[in-house]
Chain A
Amino acid sequence: MTETHPVPGGAVAEVSPGRLAAALIVGWLLPGAGHATLGRVRRGVLFFALIMGSFGLGLAHDGRLALYSPREGFLTGLQLVANMGIGPADLFARMSVYGEAAYTVPDQSAPLYRPRIEKFRERQRSVVSAYGTAYLWSAGLMNLLLLMDIWDIAKRRKD
């Protein structure tokens, strides 16, 4: 973890704060793109394939797109973080599954409550949902790890 990234001439590559911020934002928006921004293109492409592959498998296997519920705020909050780590792909998945950008369990008296919960439970009842959830959440968490990796690369803590 203490390796540095040498550049021709023997100096160590500098990453400006602006470039670091851009790499972090782009990396969250599109898995692997942050690494590509910092010149690690092959690694970025491989990360993209792994993370989006995992995400796709998760969606295909009825993985849980978590909804925040104040009744179980801590756990559902963590689930949301795992889902949202993948970036806008999570938003598109929610729009495709729930028909809207759904992130919370609505109040029971709200007209939205029943269709959203029904959709959520329908996916959860699927026999492969547990597998799908593992793929989905792993994809988001892997992308969050990549953001930390981008930080380490920019701070010259690793290659």
Chain B
Amino acid sequence: MRSHFAHLTLYSGIIATFFSVLTRRDRREQLRFAGLVWLAMAGGVLVLAYLMLPFPR
């Protein structure tokens, strides 16, 4: 798999699920926390990528 975006979503999913189960006990809280972490990771990368758009290699 060579898609950077696919890796971004998959990796963020693994990390978000891990930390939600590690730090939260209630199922609803786990889902909420996992969603937030996933959004922060995936969204953060997309925002950074957008900000870097004017600076090509």
Contact = CB atoms under 8 A, between A and B. Distances in A.
Q: How large is the interface on A (under 10, 10 to 19, 20 to 34, 35 or more residues)?
A: 20 to 34
Contacts of A128: 1-2
B15 interface: yes
Q: How large is the interface on B (under 10, 10 to 19, 20 to 34, 35 or more residues)?
A: 10 to 19
A144 to B, nearest CB: 12
A51 B10 CA distance: 13
Nearest to A57: B10
A42 to B, nearest CB: 9
Interface in A73-91: none
B31 interface: no
B21 A47 contact: yes
B25 A3 contact: yes
* Chain A interface helix/strand/loop/mixed: helix
A159 B1 contact: no
Contacts of A47: 18, 21
A43 B25 CA distance: 10
A50 B1 contact: no
Interface in B1-36: 1-2, 7, 10-11, 14-15, 17-18, 21-22, 25
B14 to A, nearest CB: 5
Contacts of A54: 14
5 contacts: A51-B18, A54-B14, A131-B1, A131-B7, A134-B11
